[in-house]
Amino acid sequence: MARLDAGSLREERRMERYESWVDRQIREAQERGEFDNLPGAGRPIPGLTWPPDPNWWVKGLIERERISPPLPPPLALRREVEQLPATLAGVRDEAAAREIVEDLNQRILELRRRPSEGVPRFVGTVDVEAALDRWRESR
């Protein structure tokens, strides 16, 4: 048994002295600092999660293309109501602005008529005249 240990030590010493061409290139590059300050240093390597995510490609596409996931209809309409002043800011005539607000109200009313899915979210209609007054003031 002692002989195995001695042989193992000799083999270890021999391996320590042996350095392949690839190992030498890597060591020299490290000594020159070529691996210092690489982009992504200190962050996990993407794609190495375990267990592998079956939807990895969809998540990657969404992140890479900066696609925002679709919102549930009540939240999407609520966002439209919040962004209405910005939407109306680009409109030139009052008839088009009125049409935009009335269309939004119509979609809100249609949503209210449908059975709710999950937690119900109330979205209030927009006062057309008040929205148009704000639109006129911004002109």
111 touches 73 (CB < 8 A): yes
User: Can you tell me which residue has the tokens 């009052």?
Assistant: 94
* Per-residue model confidence (pLDDT) at position 56: 82
* Per-residue model confidence (pLDDT) at position 78: 92
Rounded to the nearest integer, the mean pLDDT of the chain is: 85
Cβ-based neighbours of 98, under 8 Å, separated by 6 or more: 128, 132
100 touches 87 (CB < 8 A): yes
29, amino acid identity: A
* Per-residue model confidence (pLDDT) at position 112: 87
Helix and strand numbers (H, E) in the chain are: 7, 0
pLDDT in tens, 104-134: 999 999 988 888 777 667 788 889 999 888 8
Cβ-based neighbours of 27, under 8 Å, separated by 6 or more: 19
* Per-residue model confidence (pLDDT) at position 16: 67
Mean pLDDT of 76-102: 93
Give the range among 28-37, 51-60, 73-82 with minimum mean pLDDT. 51-60
Q: Give φ, ψ of 47 to 5 degrees.
A: 90, 5
Domain ranges of the chain: 1-34, 73-138
Residue 2, pLDDT above cutoff 60: no
Looking at the chain, the whole-number percentage of residues with pLDDT higher than 90 is 34
SS3 of 39, please? coil
C-alpha Rg value of the chain to the nearest Å: 32
Mean pLDDT of 22-34: 94
pLDDT in tens, 14-24: 666 778 899 99
Mean pLDDT of 45-62: 80
Token pair, residue 53, equals 């995510």
Confidence of residue 3 (pLDDT cuts 50, 70, 90): low
